[in-house]
Structure 1
Amino acid sequence: MTMGNDSHLREVPIARSELLKGHFLQVVRDTVRLPSGKQATREFVRHPGAVMVIGLLEDGQVILERQYRHPMGAVMIEFPAGKLDAGEGSLKCAQRELLEETGYSATEWAYAGQLAPTIAYSDERLDIWFARGLTLGERRLDEGEFLDVFTASPEALQAWCRQGDVIDAKTLVGALWLQNVLSGAWSLDWSGAKPEAKLDSP
């Protein structure tokens, strides 16, 4: 598919009002001009951005977590992940979150891509990182953070995704990346560099 001129699709922001300012999320209402010339409102959640880490162990297993997620009212299986702190780079955040949540540190990092998990009502962008050369140390969980860390084979993870045991969007996308990287269909650059151009907003 060839991308052309998107002017017939784009909405032009006219005004913004803040509906809610929470601890790290903000809810806003934008007034926009539609391609037809009419006006409409768009309510969405502003998010500081986040990272997810797919940790590859030498025995072929990957690092996963089980964590209770209040909005879902359930314990979810997930790859380690977390939000960016103010002024924090993506790789630094990935290294920090992996260590804090799991106790693992890595000697090699590869940027895979970016995920926008909820495009209809949030501007969140999540960077996907792979890590290898892992060493286990001590976890440094935040106050009020409770999670179990475990390892599983990629085959087990794929089965959980297929069976509906894994429904977290980022982990489903991570499982897709993992499957394609391990099969050789998709390659990774283990330099630890991230193409910043991919973060440009439209």
Structure 2
Amino acid sequence: MTFNKQSNFYEKVLDKEEIFNGKVFSVEKAKVELMDGSISSREMVFHHGGACILAIDADRNIYLVKQYRISVKQDLLEIPAGKLEKGEDHFSCAKRELYEELGMTAKNWSLLSEFFPTPGYCSERIKIYLARNLTIGENKLDPGEFLEVKKIHLTEALKMIKNKQIVDSKTMIAILLADQILREDENIFEQ
């Protein structure tokens, strides 16, 4: 039974079948009994999860990557992010991706938030980290990974969200959260 102890809502899984099992995710089709006793079906994607990083310097510049995303057939501006490798925790994934995509390390890390991008059918959980006091080096991209690093002031990034130039959800969430945190604590870079 899928049950959230904080909720009175539930669905009881009566039967399930694996449809696909790949490197990144698997897909199941399930027959479920709803709270009212009716029967329905669910198609679910099970994903290991991921981490993303808003790297920000003391001048409030953030570092984004521009890359082509075949699923939406366009280039997107995104914060660095990656999928969890087997046995890897979210924070280790974030540090690895910051180094691979931007060639950076950070002295100070904060967990900004975590979210489910598409909970209607997918289990993926993404944790968003704020990386500060950056050391910049040379990126170490994975084979087959092509991207361009963009340094953009936080104020400009906020305008880009409003103007629909930044449309990636994890990036929008991270930028908006970071802006709120910086409004509340202007001395965050001195910590």
User: Please, what TM-score do these two structures have when normalized by structure 1?
Assistant: 0.86
| Residue 6 (structure 1) aligns with | 7
| Residue 68 (structure 1) aligns with | 68
How far apart are the structure 1 equivalents of 2:20 and 2:144?
23
Q: How many aligned positions are there?
A: 186
Aligned residue type for 1:117: P
| Residue 101 (structure 1) aligns with | 101
How far apart are the structure 2 equivalents of 1:70 and 1:129?
26
Which of 83-92 and 15-24 deviates more?
15-24
How far apart are the structure 1 equivalents of 2:138 and 2:155?
28
The equivalences for 1:18-29 within 5 A come to 18-29=18-29
Identity of counterpart residues, as a percentage? Answer: 32
How far apart are the structure 1 equivalents of 2:111 and 2:149?
22
How far apart are the structure 2 equivalents of 1:55 and 1:5?
34
Aligned residue type for 2:145: E
How far apart are residue 5 of structure 1 and its match?
A: 6.6
How far apart are the structure 1 equivalents of 2:122 and 2:165?
25
Aligned residue type for 1:41: S
How far apart are residue 77 of structure 1 and its match?
A: 0.6
| Residue 55 (structure 2) aligns with | 55
Is residue 15 of structure 1 aligned with residue 20 of structure 2? no
How far apart are residue 95 of structure 1 and its match?
A: 0.3
Does the aligned pair in 1 maintain the 2:104–2:137 contact within 8 Å?
yes
How far apart are residue 99 of structure 1 and its match?
A: 0.2
| Residue 152 (structure 1) aligns with | 152
Does the aligned pair in 1 maintain the 2:51–2:94 contact within 8 Å?
yes
SS in 1 for 2:100: helix
How far apart are the structure 1 equivalents of 2:95 and 2:89?
10
User: Please, what TM-score do these two structures have when normalized by structure 2?
Assistant: 0.91
How far apart are residue 6 of structure 1 and its match?
A: 2.9
How far apart are the structure 2 equivalents of 1:168 and 1:30?
30
| Residue 37 (structure 1) aligns with | 37
SS in 2 for 1:11: strand
Does the aligned pair in 1 maintain the 2:112–2:174 contact within 8 Å?
no
How far apart are residue 113 of structure 1 and its match?
A: 1.3
Aligned residue type for 1:17: E
Q: Which runs of 4+ in 1 moved over 3 A?
A: none
How far apart are residue 61 of structure 1 and its match?
A: 0.3
Does the aligned pair in 1 maintain the 2:64–2:152 contact within 8 Å?
yes
How far apart are residue 23 of structure 1 and its match?
A: 2.2
| Residue 90 (structure 1) aligns with | 90
| Residue 194 (structure 1) aligns with | none
Structure 1: segments with no counterpart, 5+ residues: 192-202
Cα deviations across residues 103-142 of structure 1 (Å, max 9, x unaligned)?
0111111111101111112111000101111111121111
